[in-house]
Amino acid sequence: PFRVGVLTGGGDCPGLNAVIRAVTKSLLSQCNAEVVGIREGFRGLIEGDTELLESPDVSGILTRGGTILGASNKANPFDYYASGGADVSARTLKTYERLNLDALVAIGGDGTMSIAHRLQKLGMNIVGVPKTIDNDLMGTDRTFGFDTAVHVATEAMDRIHTTAQSHHRVMIVETMGRYAGWIALHAGVASGADIILIPELPYNVDEVIRVCQEREEGGRQFTIISIAEGAKPEGGSFTVSQRVEESHDPLRLGGVGKALAEQIKPHIESEVRTTILGHMQRGGTPTAYDRTLSTAFGAHAAELVAEGTFGVMVARQEGRFTQIPLEEVADETRTVPRNAPLIAAGVAMDTSFGVTDL
């Protein structure tokens, strides 16, 4: 039989199960394929740790967070942690052949797509599906998981708003987003944050202080700051923010918002508090939008597998479903452009981005 593997690479993300379900159901019904679930991302492909996915296995998982296959953000066939960082790609290819796989659907973010591109060049037939709450994959206007993360962050900021108003505080809310500020920007605009700080626009600390002071003087005795975990001040970066780039240190989340709080505290009268949203943005049930996007992505991936189109990632561009070559996604990041409509909206509404050149 036609055998197709499916794996979820990198960290978890709302909508992963919806994609697994759509891929499996489409392949079972349309090509009578055998669908092989690969456990814990590329670890399962390297080790041959798999399970056959039948219809009942994917029934009832549409709304569930996480991934029924398990996640591993460490397993890379070109740098395998369990073999002391060795390149085990040849072994991975052998496992793929031993499992009699005709194709592989790799659901993941930038790391997964880069690995998928390299494995494709070694001879595997791969279709990628773009996952990340950060929305920063090249070639697609949307990744699944982003909408859910924005909803969670927006709800959190709405709640922070009322407590900030009651206590006349400056409240800093740190969102995820290492390299791109999509979550901080969208949740910030959606919740009416007064200052939005994203990695793409290094901010001026004095400007942030000035906005807080002006609001205090004008009788607006609270300020909401939406800051992405990868945001940096102009002309340099916090040491904690460098750690964001460099390590897998779990303490890195929370560094940026707290560092900003320390910088502005001496200059303003109001008390300052920081809330780190962290992995809350990644867990739990996907929004309706993410469920439908994941389902459509999964069905499209299955269609490409069935017609034998490989070496691509499914994508959404200008309201259409399409696919783009993996090589255009590998090692790239889609950051927020300076002329993004939401930035313009924020500027028009007098939201400060803490930069001097906007």
- Of the CA atoms within 13 Å of residue 96, those in its CB half-sphere come to 24
Residue 128: which H helix or E strand, with range? strand 126-130
In DSSP terms, which residues pair with 85 in a beta bridge? none
Task: Enumerate the known binding-site residues for Mg(2+).
Answer: 110
Please give the residue whose beta carbon sits closest to ligand F6P in the complex.
176
Closest to 9 (Cα-Cα) out of 42, 52, 44: 42
Strand 195-197: give its sheet, edge to edge: 195-197, 223-228, 170-175, 272-276
**Catalytic site residue 134?**
yes
CB nearer ligand F6P, residue 167 or residue 178: 178
Residues near ligand F6P (CB under 6 A) are 11, 73, 109, 132-134, 176-178, 229, 248, 282
Give me the catalytic one of 79, 87, 134, 206: 134
Task: Enumerate the known binding-site residues.
Answer: 11, 74-75, 109-112, 132-134, 169, 176-178, 229, 273, 279-282
Cβ atoms < 10 Å from Cβ of 144: 33
Tell me the C-alpha distance between 297 and 315, whole Å.
7
Question: How is residue 103 written in tokens?
Answer: 């194709």
Contacts of 99 (CB under 8 A, 6+ apart): 3, 5, 36, 48, 50
CB nearer ligand F6P, residue 134 or residue 194: 134
For the bound state, the minimum distance from the C-beta of residue 67 to ligand F6P, rounded and expressed in Å, comes to 13
Tell me the C-alpha distance between 198 and 205, whole Å.
13
Spatial contact of 342 and 189, defined as CB atoms under 8 Å apart: yes
For residue 290, give Cα distances in angstroms to 146, 164, 304: 8, 30, 21
CB nearer ligand F6P, residue 156 or residue 176: 176
For the bound state, the minimum distance from the C-beta of residue 348 to ligand F6P, rounded and expressed in Å, comes to 28
CB nearer ligand F6P, residue 180 or residue 193: 180
By DSSP bridging, strand 50-53 and strand 272-276 are: unpaired
CB nearer ligand F6P, residue 25 or residue 186: 186
Which DSSP state fits 71?
A: -
CB nearer ligand F6P, residue 17 or residue 241: 241
For residue 111, give Cα distances in angstroms to 106, 107, 198, 331: 11, 11, 21, 7
Tell me the C-alpha distance between 85 and 74, whole Å.
10
Geometric angle at alpha carbon 155, from 287 and 13, rounded to 5°: 40
Query: At 329, which amino acid appears?
Result: V
For the bound state, the minimum distance from the C-beta of residue 136 to ligand F6P, rounded and expressed in Å, comes to 8
Cβ atoms < 10 Å from Cβ of 9: 29
For the bound state, the minimum distance from the C-beta of residue 357 to ligand F6P, rounded and expressed in Å, comes to 26
Task: Enumerate the known binding-site residues for substrate.
Answer: 132-134, 169, 176-178, 229, 273, 279-282
CB nearer ligand F6P, residue 4 or residue 133: 133
Tell me the C-alpha distance between 173 and 153, whole Å.
9
Catalytic residues: 134
